[in-house]
Amino acid sequence: MAQMPAKRRAALRAELLALLHATEAEDIDARIDELLAEVLEDAPIVAPLGMGLDDEDEDRRIVVTGMGVVSPFGIGVAPFWAGLSQGRSAIERISHFDPSGYPCQIAGQVPGFVAKEFMDGKEARRMSRSSQFAVAAAQMAVTDADLRISGNSEEIGVLIGCGTSAMPDIEQAAMTLLQRGGMKISPFFIPAALPHMPASQVAIQLGLHGYLSAISTACSAGAQAIGEAAEVIRRGEAEIMLAGGAEAPITAFSLGAFCVMRALSSHANHEPSKGSRPFDARRDGFVPGEGAAVLVLERLSNARRRGASILAEVAGYAATADAYHITAPEPDGYGAARAMRRALQNARCDPQQIDYINAHATSTPAGDLAETRAIKHVFGEYAYSVPVSSNKSMIGHLTGAAGAIEAAATILALRHSLIPPTINQEEADPACDLDYVPNQARHARLQLAISNSFAFGGVNAVLVFRRL
């Protein structure tokens, strides 16, 4: 007789153990007869395995059961996915302030955000815009996951990434200092500006008493928050984690700072939708954006036990350092390549199994080229077959929130079997010669996908998601 598969053996063992709790002797006898038939005759299991009977592997596997998004396309997952899948640009002329004195005058701004729809108005006025985004995204994620917090709050943790959590508040405090003196600075400035406050405000507003932390690694922060949150669950410090990123950097202060670095695009002020053009020969810098994304993470066993809808599995994660430069990527992409390889090893899959790469691809000349080279290092000849695309072509670069919102986009691509395009692909760069899914979304069978996030200082973070 052929050896029974391991999962079926585990199912039979679980049912035998469950019989210990049965109260009727005749029920036990009948079920033993059925299980004997299963073992001796390889008959199908008569009763389905209960959702609460989990094998050990399901306690190690981490899944996503809810998502909340605040993006330049609007509030919620639906407008976010509609914009990405239709290949629309959400980038427009900056309206938060007059940008006319700057080389870059465009950004991906969140439209129609009303903080008091997600929290008390007084509380909202005391927190930064990025914290407001984080709370809103977390509220939506909890609702999407059908998560009951009451009575379980000590087992639910928060880990939110950001670059600088309160640029508008920092700018306002500096202006107050210069114009009116230091004693006129708002007493709420420090509590608003601390990098961990988006995470803390999520915990405060939702009443969560579990693990709490933050990651501040610039453009890798959102991705690292998700990857590290999965590890928090695996090591037993939380049953469920709310993880993601939030950023609201669109101020005159930050715009000027990035402009003097020559990091931003300056060629498309007259046509904002053309500003972000990853991998295109005429790319000249990134376009800033704002927003947040929060995912609900939990063990596969816990998700099944409570009957949650499973959106995807966090199959792999890794982070590495370039140890090369404070802003420039390592030109050949070796650090990024190491992160991708380690994430694939963590996911126990080969490069040829990856169906899609959601690229970091900010639309900078050096960054896009380095990422292209990194992909070639990892995937070899298969690099020319795997689709690669950049969400930043449509929403801009959300810095600390980028990794989280692109993780959400990757999961949606898996769920809908649709790869969002890289728009503004108009003039080929001979050095960037992969399949960047130009200008139109593409239907594809997707099972495994990578989401790349790379940051100033040489931080590389890679997530691997699997469709279940």
Residues belonging to the active site: 219, 360, 397
Q: Is the dihedral of CA 302, 307, 313, 315 positive or negative?
A: positive
Nearest Cα to Cα of residue 72 among 441, 392, 389, 425: 392
Nearest Cα to Cα of residue 16 among 42, 51, 53: 53
Q: For residue 315, what is the enclosing H or E element?
A: strand 312-321
Dist. CA 133–CA 191, nearest whole Å: 16
Helices 402-416 and 221-234, packing angle to 10 deg: 70
Contact 290, 109 (CB under 8 A): yes
Dist. CA 271–CA 279, nearest whole Å: 19
DSSP state of 26: H
Token output for 283: 């790319």
Q: Where are the alpha helices (DSSP H) in 315-389?
A: 334-347, 365-379
Compute the chain's Rg from CA coordinates: 24
Task: Tell me which amino acid residue 441 is.
Answer: A
Q: Is the dihedral of CA 279, 281, 282, 284 positive or negative?
A: positive
Count of CB atoms situated within 10 Å of the CB of 186 = 13
Contact 462, 451 (CB under 8 A): yes
Q: For residue 415, what is the enclosing H or E element?
A: helix 402-416
